[in-house]
Amino acid sequence: MTAPAVRIVDAFEDVQALLRDETHVPQSMAHAYRLIAQRLKVDFSASIRLLDVLPVFMHGDKHKAIRKQMATQMAGKRSAQEQAARAFIEQLDLRVTPGQPAELISTWVHPLWRHMNGLDKDVDDDLFGFIVDAPQLFNMKATLRKRLQINDWIERFIALDESTADDRLIDLGQSVLGFTPLSATLTLSLHHVFAANLGKPLREINYPAQFPHSAVQTTDRYQTGTAHEQDVLRCVIHSPHRTTEQNDATLYGVGEHVCLGRPLANAVWSMLTAKLSGMPHRVLACNLSMERPEPVSREDYLHVVEPFQRPSKLSVVLAS
C-alpha cells in the first residue's frame, strides 16, 4: 500500500478556498483511534468517546450538532470568564518584581487560564495536568504508554457520574481544544511584542489589535471521494511570509471550523494590552524557549510536522 502523500498548501487564497470546500474534511481522530484499538487489541473507548465530541476533527451534520451544543455551553460561561480574566489582569503588575527575571508562562499565562476557568491551584491540579497532557492524543509521535495514561484518566472522569458524562465531556473538550492554542499563542505574542520593543516603556508600545503570532501553524485536510482521499493537504494558516491582514484573517481558522473561543480570546488580548499600556515599566530583557526549535527558513517552515509551536519558557525582566 502506498503511503499517504503530504502536500503543503501555502498560498493564502488557496488555503482559504480549500478550508471552505466541504469536500476537504479534517481527519476523524475518533476513527483513527478505533483503527489503532483494533490493530493493537487495546481499549481506547474512553478516548474515542472524548474525541467524538471534538468538533475540530469532525464534519457534516454531526459536526454542526456538536459545535452548536459546545457553543451554547461556552456562551453560558463567557461573561464569568471575562470577569475573571479582567480581575486577574488588573493585578498583573503585582506578579513581577522590577529588575528581577519573571517566567511569564508560570506566573501570567497559565494562572490566567486557570483563573478564567475556575481551577483552584491546590484542588484542581489533576484536572489541569490532564488538560496540559491531553493534546498528546493528537500527536502521532506520542507513545502507547502516554495514550493509555490519558485514556485511563478519561475513564475515571466518565465514571464520576455516567448520567452527566456527555455534557461534562463536551465541557472538558472545550478546555482540551482551547488551552494549548490560547496559552501558547498568548506567550508567543507577548514575546513578539516585548522582543521588538526592548528598552521602550510599555506605555509607548503600539500594541497590535489581535495576537501578532499564532501557535497554530497548519491544519490538515483530506479530499473525500477521490483516489487520493488518504493524502494529507497541510494548509498553512499562519506564516511569517504573509501580511498582517492575511494572518489576521486566518488566525482563528476559516469556514465552518472557525474557533468557538474567538470572542473570549479577543477579549483577553484587549484587556491584557490595555493593562500593559498603563504599566510604568519597560522591558530590559526577553528570552523565549521552545519545546522544539522554531523553523528558521521557508523550506523548514513549510515542512513542520507538528501543527503547533510550543513555547516552554518566557523569561522577562521589567524595570520601572
Please state which CATH number belongs to domain 6-319: 1.10.630.10
Mean pLDDT across the chain: 90
pLDDT of residue 3: 57
297: pLDDT strictly greater than 50: no
Distance in angstroms (rounded) separating the CA atoms of residues 196 and 202: 12
Distance in angstroms (rounded) separating the CA atoms of residues 110 and 93: 16
3-class SS of residue 22: coil
Distance in angstroms (rounded) separating the CA atoms of residues 131 and 176: 5
Query: CB of 231 within 8 A of CB of 45?
Result: no
pTM for this entry: 0.91
Question: Would you kindly state where each structural domain of the chain is located, as residue ranges?
Answer: 6-319
Q: What tens digit of pLDDT does each residue of 218-256 get?
A: 999 998 866 455 688 999 999 988 999 999 999 999 999
Q: In DSSP terms, which residues pair with 103 in a beta bridge?
A: 315
Q: What tens digit of pLDDT does each residue of 45-99 get?
A: 999 999 999 999 999 999 999 999 999 999 999 999 999 999 999 999 999 899 9
Segment 206-210 shows an average pLDDT of 96
